[in-house]
Amino acid sequence: MWFLIGIALLVIFYGIFTYNRLVSLSQQVKEARAGIATVLKQRFDLIPNLVETVKGYAKHEKEVFEKVTKFRSGLQDKELSKLSTKELADLTAKSTEILRSIMVVVENYPDLQASRNFLDLQESLDRIEEKLERARRFYNAVVRDYNSLVLGFPSNIIAGLFKFAQEDYFEVTEEERKAPQVKF
């Protein structure tokens, strides 16, 4: 009889421990996703500064600037930290495309490439790109740990009972992984 009570208590304690671990990892996933959103916001905030710097040199590059304005106005209504992983990945891809188009314009203006203001913005962009990469790696590591617990036996039983679902990894295409480059 005591043996059965002991086994029942072990199962209950394991269930409580597993549930709490799932909750903890779930919160870490949300925090990591918010971290990506924060760095993306910094990236998005830097884009207008780059555009303004480039505009002074490239007044006839209207198409690029219209694309940036349209993208920025589309961000106004979004709270980045509440977006799904896929939505964040899509925004990352769009902002990477915009940054690349700005950098293509920059390549045509050697004076701009030598501008101290532009070089400072370029350094800021490089730092943000590094922070974004670290945030993605942290997010994917947390998702790996969380998904392992959700899928592993016997923790998958607790996860199923309390409807803990797998999270998506933050994945981008090989083209999107490349940081915008300026050729001097």
For each of the domains in the chain, give its residue range(s) and CATH number, in order of start.
2-177 (1.20.1440.20)
**146 vs 14, 22, 28, 156, CA distance in Å?**
17, 7, 9, 11
Q: Residue 142: which residues within 8 A CB-CB, separation 6 or more?
A: 25, 28, 29, 31, 32
* C-alpha span between 84 and 28 (Å, rounded): 15
Which of 54, 134, 142, 59 minimizes the C-alpha distance to 100? 54
* C-alpha span between 21 and 127 (Å, rounded): 33
Does 62 have pLDDT greater than 80?
no
Does 183 have pLDDT greater than 50?
no
Mean pLDDT over 46-55 rounds to 80
pLDDT of residue 177: 55
pLDDT of residue 59: 62
